[in-house]
Chain A
Amino acid sequence: MTIATEQSLDGSHPLTMKKATRQVRDHLALIGTATWIGGGILLVLGIAALLAPVLAPYDPDAIDYRALLSSPSADHWLGTDELGRDIFSRLLFGARLSLLVAFASVLIGIGAGVPIGLIAGYVGGVVDELLMRVLDSIIALPPLVLALTISAVLGPGLVNATIAIAIVSIPTFARLTRGQVLSIKNNDYVLAARSVGVRPFLILVRHILPNVISPVIVQATLGIGFAIILESSLSFIGLGAQPPTSTWGSMVQVGFEYLDIAPWFVICPSIAIFIAVLGANLLGDGLRNQTMRR
């Protein structure tokens, strides 16, 4: 709109409109591409993880002492690790756990965060104040530091890492939901429902929740990328997946000892993490731009 106004000062109105439409179309195309690429990446990774037993050229746990730390070749596309295990196969199987942890923690985060946000926003008053202060105190700790501390208390392991990541993500969903509730709870249709005596629970579920869903989906997509980074960081530090279980992050952890002689051992799982997170970020960002436009 601004483009059109600026240009129309020159008196070249028809051209401006054309130009403006083209720019908007280009812009839409660009955002669309990002969304498609991001969604495509996640879809391919998801399918690869599901079909890991079919796609993997080797048994991910098969030890081969004749091929320790061998570099990428026709036999082993991404090389082998310190026990001669095929890194590509291990990445495929690792994807299952890495993605599962990310999805599960985001779902738990939503499951706890959205109801908290709904209640805080709708009830207001002391309840809101109390819930918000608790969330503030969770946010006072940086995500990784909090996840580390929780994992330390619960003990190392993937299930505990999932819980830790879920707890870290609760405030984001709760605050987002609360903001949405506050912005719509005094809309006419909500007031109307309240005035005819609809129970608060039904108002929340039927009239308010639907408005919360799309920003939550956007945040969940971005949250998956964040969860993948957190899980891999925890595993990298030694508090996530414990051997013999392995995720992308724990592969990086072991690989770092061999960085000078077998860089692929660190780089391949790291790039897998990067691609997955990039996919989630592109998709989340694209979806956000589209919902904002609406």
Chain B
Amino acid sequence: MLSLITRRVIATIPVLFLVSVAVFGLMRLLPGDVTDLILSDAQANVSEEQVAELRRQYGIDQPVYIQYAKWVGRLATGDLGVSFRNKQDVGQIILPRLWPTLQIGLMAILLATAVGVPLGALSASFPNSLWDKLGSLITFVGASTPYFLAGGVLIYVVSLQFNLLPPSGYVSPLVDFQESLRRSIMPAVTISLSLAAIILRQSRASFSDVLQLPYIRTAYAKGLSKSTVVLKHALKNALLPVVTILGLQLGLVFSGAVVTETVFAVPGIGRLLVDSILGRDYPVVQALVMIIAVAVTFSTLLVDIVYGALDPRSSRS
């Protein structure tokens, strides 16, 4: 077990190294440098000395590998740099934006699981039934619906036509719990569609695999009812792959956040990423991309380790 963890952790090091080099390199590939961006805002003429001073201040007069090493060193200590746009500490900008994204993402995962797992189990238990057909309908529709279509329809119908929920914005649950739910439920439903499609498909596949195993036939032979067999005997074994696939969907939640937070004007990190890219605030972009990559890599790592612990066969391969 320990060797599995060590092996997996070591495997993530080159990945994170490459991601950091890529992120750092991409930002250096941009036309012009920091000084051009900052000085483009300045009205007055700037002297050569002032440009040189700025370049020194941002450390871009040094060789690239030294800039990279310093950047990584600062990242490791939690110093994410300073925003071009408002000269604020990048960490301070990102931190308050994390919560809305996480809250909506978590709600989306819960919703998708609540729909996907039972429907997947029903589809597998009654193949070709109405349940199964409903299941494949949701799978295809969920996987094919762009976030802005789901979001647009929800805003138009729920908010504009029936005035049931506010169309945009975010309130922290610590400020007003009920209002927080009211504002985050539509973004969560929007993100949950594609998640539900994946979970449903995985649950169906995994339940139908398990339901064909000999111990299930034995359970039926003992005269147990279908619901007992599915819920008591099949559920535990069928759920393992589902939990795994769930752990690998963090990336999808971030992808969903980018569009959904734009549609619903949610001040999360998806929206912040879009705003920073459009506003060419590269320190924020760099930091956000790195944070997302680290989060996704570690969630994959965690899934690997948990899976290895639950199913010892997998750690041998």
Contact = CB atoms under 8 A, between A and B. Distances in A.
B146 A273 contact: yes
A145 B288 CA distance: 10
Interface string A214-237: 000000000001000100110011
A149 B289 contact: yes
B149 interface: yes
A160 to B, nearest CB: 12
B274 A148 contact: yes
B217 A256 contact: no
A152 interface: yes
Interface in B108-159: 128, 140-141, 143-149, 152-153, 155-156
Main secondary structure of the interface of B (DSSP, over half): helix
A278 B293 contact: no
Most A CB contacts (10 A, CB to CB) among B16, B141, B148, B155 go to: B148
Contacts of B16: 137, 140
B259 A236 contact: yes
B148 A144 contact: no
A47 B148 CA distance: 26
A198 interface: no
Interface string B261-290: 011000000000110011000000100010
Interface stretch (A68-76, A109-117, A264-272): A264-272
Interface residues of A, number: 46
Interface in A103-150: 133-134, 136-137, 140-145, 148-150
A274 B149 contact: yes
B252 A142 contact: yes
B18 interface: yes
A142 B30 contact: no
A23 B132 CA distance: 14
B27 interface: yes
Most A CB contacts (10 A, CB to CB) among B15, B26, B273 go to: B15
A250 to B, nearest CB: 12
B258 A237 contact: yes
A188 interface: no
A271 B149 contact: yes
Given A237-B274, A274-B149, A148 B15 contact: no
A228 B255 CA distance: 15
Interface string A227-252: 00100110011110000000000001
Contact of A274 (B14, B144, B278, B296): B144
Nearest to A30: B128
Contacts of A133: 14-15, 18
A10 interface: no
A273 B289 contact: no
Contact of B148 (A30, A153, A270): A270
Contact of A252 (B143, B145, B148): B148
Nearest to A5: B217
Contacts of B292: 141-142, 145
A26 interface: yes
Interface in B1-50: 14-16, 18-19, 22-23, 26-27, 29-30
A233 B258 contact: yes
Given A148-B277, A266-B148, A27 B128 contact: yes
A137 B144 contact: no
B172 to A, nearest CB: 24
A144 B14 contact: no
A153 B144 contact: no
Contacts of A239: 277-278
22 contacts: A27-B128, A133-B15, A133-B18, A136-B14, A137-B19, A140-B15, A140-B293, A141-B19, A144-B259, A150-B26, A152-B285, A153-B27, A153-B30, A233-B146, A236-B259, A259-B155, A266-B148, A266-B152, A270-B152, A277-B144, A278-B144, A281-B143
Given A149-B289, A152-B285, A263-B152, 4 more contacts: A137-B18, A143-B255, A144-B254, A237-B258
Interface of B: 14-16, 18-19, 22-23, 26-27, 29-30, 128, 140-141, 143-149, 152-153, 155-156, 160, 212, 217, 251-252, 254-255, 258-259, 262-263, 273-274, 277-278, 285, 289, 292-293, 296-297
Interface of A: 2, 6, 23, 26-27, 30, 133-134, 136-137, 140-145, 148-153, 225, 229, 232-233, 236-239, 252, 256, 259-260, 263, 266-267, 270-271, 273-274, 277-278, 281-282, 285
Query: Which 6 A-B residue pairs are closest in the complex by CB-CB distance?
Result: A142-B251, A137-B18, A270-B149, A144-B255, A278-B144, A277-B144
